[in-house]
Structure 1
Amino acid sequence: MKKMILLAFIAMVTLSTVSAQMQSFKFKQAKRKYIVYLPKTYDAKKTYPLLYNFHGGGMTATEQMFYSGMNKTADKLNFIVVYPSGINADWNVGFEMSYLNGTDDIGFIKALNDTLRRRYNINTKAVFATGLSRGGFFCHRLATEMPETFAAVASIGGALPDSVKYYKRSDQKIAVMQVSGTADQVVNYNGKAGAYSSALSTFDYWISHNRLSLKQKKERSIDRDKKDGTSILITEVADQGTEVMLVSIQEGGHTWPGSDPFNIGFPLGKTSTEININELMWDFFSRNKKP
C-alpha cells in the first residue's frame, strides 16, 4: 500500500500519549522497531492477553495502529497491543523475496515475544495475531511456524500464501479466522495462481489442518446497514477445542471492516459497517485461548 501521509501525521499525535510507545532493539544487525500500547487500566501486577497487529505492505506500524482502531478496543476489553514494523514496510511470506533466506521475520517475532514477556506480565495462553493485507498473509505463516506461541490468528484481506503451504513447519492445531471481501481488487477473493489461495480454500485448508469435522459447520448472515452496500456471511467450524472461521464481506473491498474508509491512490472498495471486526475477532480469540 502507498503511504498515508495524513494518517501518519494524525497517528503520530496518538503516539505522544503515555500508553503508546515506540521501542526498538537490534536483531541480526538491523534496528527493528515496534509500538507497544498498554490499556488505560494497565496494572503491572496483573496478567494481560497480548495481540500482535501487523501492518500491510507499504504501510507503517503507526498507520496500522491508527487505521485498525485497535487501541480503543484494547482499552475496552483490557489487552496489550504490539504493532511490529517490517523491514522496507514488508513481511516475508515468500512474495518478492526468498521464503527461507529473505528477511527473518519469524526470528524477529520470536525475539520480540521474548522481550515483551520480560517487560510485561503476559498471559502466555492468550497471545494472538492479526494483520491487514501483507500483514494478514504473515499471520498464516505465524500459524504454521509459531503455534506454540500463538493461540489464534485473524487475517484481514490476506489469504494463505502458497509458500506457507509448501514449507509447512508444524501440524499443531491453531484457531484461524479469515476475513475477506468478495470484491477485493488487491487480494482477490478467488485467489491468485502461484501466489495465494482463495478465501474458501484458505478456510478449507485450516479445517483440514486442524482435523475438524464439517458436520460442525455453521453459517449466519448479517445485514443491518442497508446503506453501506455490503453484507456479512460468517461460516465457522468448531470442534475438539479448535475453531476456524471465514468472514466473507459480500461486496466488501480491501479494507478493515468497521474502520473509517480512506483513499490512498487506488481503489480499495467498500468498507463494511455491518460489524466491528475488532470486537468480533476478540470474541473469537477469547474462545480459543490455549488450554
Structure 2
Amino acid sequence: MIKSKIILILQLLFIQNIFCQTYQRNLFYDGNNRQFVLHIPSNYDPSIAAPLLFNFHGGNGYANQFMATTSDMRNIADTAGFILIYPQALEDPNDGNSTNWLHKSPTNVDDIYFVESIIDSLNNEYLIDNNRIYACGYSLGGEFTYELACRLNSKIAAVAAVARTMGDSQLNTCSPIHPTPVMTILGTADQISLYGGVVFAGITYYVSADDMHSYWTNYNNTNANPNITQIPDINPNDGSSVERKTWSNGDNCVSVEELKINGGGHDWPGTFGNMDIVANNEIWNFVSKYNLNGLIGCSTTSNNQNTNSSNKLNIYPNPFSNNLKLETTFPTHYEIYNRLGKLLKKGNLNAGSNKINLSSLKPDLYILKSEENSMKIIKY
C-alpha cells in the first residue's frame, strides 16, 4: 500500500513537471535580486538548440501581469519551440519608483547587462540557439527593445516594438554591427507615444515613425520605397484599420516592416485596441525568419557589395577622415545620405579616380549611392 502511494506521488510529480513549464526565476545581478518569468516550450528537446524571445513590459509594469493580460505568447512558444522570457524591471527612484526600463539619470542601472546575464545564465542550463535571440516589447518596453538592437546587437538577431518610436538621443547614438530586421506596430492616434514623435520647445525627445523607419531602412540598405498592403478590416467596430509597409531587399536579405494602425491608440493589437491583427503572431512570424546572419536561407549578394557589373565602383579608405576616394569604370553620379535618409551631398564622378572632400560632415555613418551601388561609409 505504501509502495503504491509512493508510485502515485512520483507519477503526480512527473505529470506536474511536464505541464508546469512557466517559472518565476531569480538572478542575483549587480547587487540586486532580479526576476524574470521563464517559459520552456512543451516540446523542448535538450538535444536541439532552441531560439530565445524576450518580451518586455511597459513602464511601471510587471512581467507576470503583462504576460497574463497583454501578451501571452506561451501557446506560440509551445508550437514553435522557442524559450520565452518576460524580464522584470527595477523600481526607478528618479521616476516615482515606477518599475521602468531605461532609468532616468543619475543612475547606475543599465538593464542591457541584465539581459546579457539572463542569456548567459540560460546558456548554462539549456541548449540555446545563440544565432536566434529576439526581443520585443510594449511602450517603454518597446523603447528598450530598440536599445537592445542598438547596444546588444552582437547577440540580438531581430526586434519588434509595439506602441513606441525611438528616442532622439537613442537613434543618434545607435551603433548596430549587423543588418538588423525591425518590426514596429504603431497607432497613428496614440496619445502616449505619439506617431509623429515628441518635440517640445524646439527639442526632439522622440523621433517620428517616418524618421525612425528611415534610419533602419538606410542602415539595412533596403529598398527606398515600401511595399504597402491593406490588412482586411475584419473588425469594423474597433475604430482602426491596418496597413502593412515592408521595406525589403536589405543587406543579408533583411527587411523593415511597419504595421501601421490607422486610428489606433496605445494598444497591443489582438488583445485590446485594433482586432484586425494579433500582435503576438505578427511578431513571431516576423522575427523567426532571421538569425544573426540575416534572413535564414539568404543566398543573395549583399547590397553593400557592387552588383552592377557594367560599372564597378571602389571606395577607400573606409572609415575615412575628410577625403574619400572613389574609382569607377565609367562616368556616373553619386549621392550621400545621413542615417535618416536626408540627402546631404551629390555630384558627378569621372571615369577613373575621384576624390570627394567631406570635411563638412560630422563623424557618423552615411550611405553613399551611385546608380545600383549602395555602400555604408563611416567618417571618424
Task: Compute the TM-score of the two structures, normalised by the length of structure 2.
Answer: 0.66
Q: Which amino acid aligns with 2:229?
A: R
Aligned equivalents of 1:97, 1:75: Cα separation in 2: 39
Q: Which amino acid aligns with 1:221?
A: Q
- Is 1:212 equivalent to 2:222 in the alignment? yes
**Relative contact order (C-alpha < 8 Å, sep 6+): which is higher?**
1
* CA deviation vs aligned residue, 1:4-43 (integer Å, no higher than 9, x gap): xxxxxxxxxxxxx611111112111111111100112222
- Is 1:104 equivalent to 2:106 in the alignment? no
Q: Which amino acid aligns with 2:112?
A: I
Task: Compute the TM-score of the two structures, normalised by the length of structure 1.
Answer: 0.85
Q: Which amino acid aligns with 2:179?
A: K
- Please name the residue that 2:154 is paired with: 148
Q: CA RMSD in A?
A: 1.6
Contact 1:21 1:37 in 2 (8 A): yes
Contact 2:154 2:177 in 1 (8 A): no
Q: Which amino acid aligns with 1:253?
A: G
- Please name the residue that 2:206 is paired with: 196
- Please name the residue that 1:8 is paired with: none
User: Residue 286 of structure 1: CA displacement?
Assistant: 2.2
Aligned equivalents of 1:23, 1:198: Cα separation in 2: 37
Contact 1:171 1:209 in 2 (8 A): no
Aligned equivalents of 2:289, 2:45: Cα separation in 1: 24
| Counterpart selection for 2:89 from 86, 90, 113 | 86
SS of corresponding position for 1:214: coil
User: Residue 107 of structure 1: CA displacement?
Assistant: 1.1
Give the greater-gyration-radius structure (CA): 2
Q: Which amino acid aligns with 1:247?
A: L
| Counterpart selection for 2:238 from 205, 228, 242 | 228
- Is 1:274 equivalent to 2:276 in the alignment? yes
SS of corresponding position for 1:136: helix
User: Residue 171 of structure 1: CA displacement?
Assistant: 4.1
SS of corresponding position for 1:227: helix
User: Residue 138 of structure 1: CA displacement?
Assistant: 0.4
Percent sequence identity over aligned pairs: 30
**Aligned counterparts, 1:29-68, within 5 A:** 29-66=31-68, 67-68=70-71
- Please name the residue that 1:75 is paired with: 78
Structure 2 unpaired stretches of 5+: 1-18, 92-98, 294-380
User: Residue 172 of structure 1: CA displacement?
Assistant: 2.8
Q: Which amino acid aligns with 1:184?
A: D
Query: Which structure has the highest helix share of the two?
Result: 1
SS of corresponding position for 1:81: strand
* CA deviation vs aligned residue, 1:126-155 (integer Å, no higher than 9, x gap): 110000000000011100111111110000
User: Residue 120 of structure 1: CA displacement?
Assistant: 1.3
Aligned equivalents of 1:87, 1:163: Cα separation in 2: 22
- Please name the residue that 1:184 is paired with: 190
Aligned equivalents of 1:230, 1:72: Cα separation in 2: 27
Q: Which amino acid aligns with 1:236?
A: T
SS of corresponding position for 2:248: strand
